[in-house]
Amino acid sequence: MKKILMLVTILTLVIGSYTVYAESTKTNKPAETLTAKKVDVDTKESSVTDKRFIKEEEVKLLARLVHAEAKGEPYEGKVAVAEVVLNRVEHEQFPDTVKEVIYQRNAFQPVQNGAINKPAGEEAIKAVEDALENENKIDCLYFYNPETATSQWIFTRDVVKTIGKHAFAI
């Protein structure tokens, strides 16, 4: 029995210390270089406004914007304001997140006047939820109140729909 135990121990040591060496092959062939393929894309490739990809913090921020921008407007108008922000996130000419779109320079009056910092009402929160779940969004990138707008540029946009006092345009 001692001899078998000694043999197993020796085999374990020999097998355990066995080292495998990899062979390297050298070629005189030059290394291939990687090239990038340029692809022109008009819209972003994946839907970043899918509810799964929007942080809770951004949902709350969007609700505060909707509350400030569409206070006193019909519910449909509140949903449409949220959809405009979500459409901008999806569009190639705008930033990639809700937060970046909202805080884009001169994009929304409530950011400039501080109204964005006020809490959102229940109706604004519900409107954002509905906008996130709505697959038939209005295809607009802008909205404005024609009675109070001061930018001549906004009047050059094609109005698609009017809801309450807001004109929704592309």
% of the chain exceeding 90 in pLDDT: 64
pLDDT band with cut points at 50, 70 and 90 for residue 22: very low
State residue 11's pLDDT score.
57
State residue 34's pLDDT score.
38
CA 31, chain centre distance (Å): 38
DSSP lists the bridge partners of residue 143 as: 168
pLDDT tens, position by position, 52-106: 578 999 999 999 999 999 999 999 999 999 999 999 999 999 999 999 999 999 9
CA-to-CA distance for 114 and 83, rounded, in angstroms?
A: 22
State residue 104's pLDDT score.
97
- Comparing 12 with 127, the larger pLDDT belongs to 127
Q: Which superfamily is assigned to 56-137 in CATH?
A: Cell wall hydrolase SleB, domain 1 (1.10.10.2520)
**Count of CB atoms situated within 10 Å of the CB of 124:** 25
Stretch 111-115: mean pLDDT: 96
∠ CA 97-141-121, nearest 5°, is 65
Stretch 144-150: mean pLDDT: 94
80 phi-psi bin (left φ>0, alpha ψ -120 to 50, beta other): alpha
Instruction: Please name which of 166, 169, 77 lies closest in space to residue 124, comparing C-alpha atoms.
Output: 77
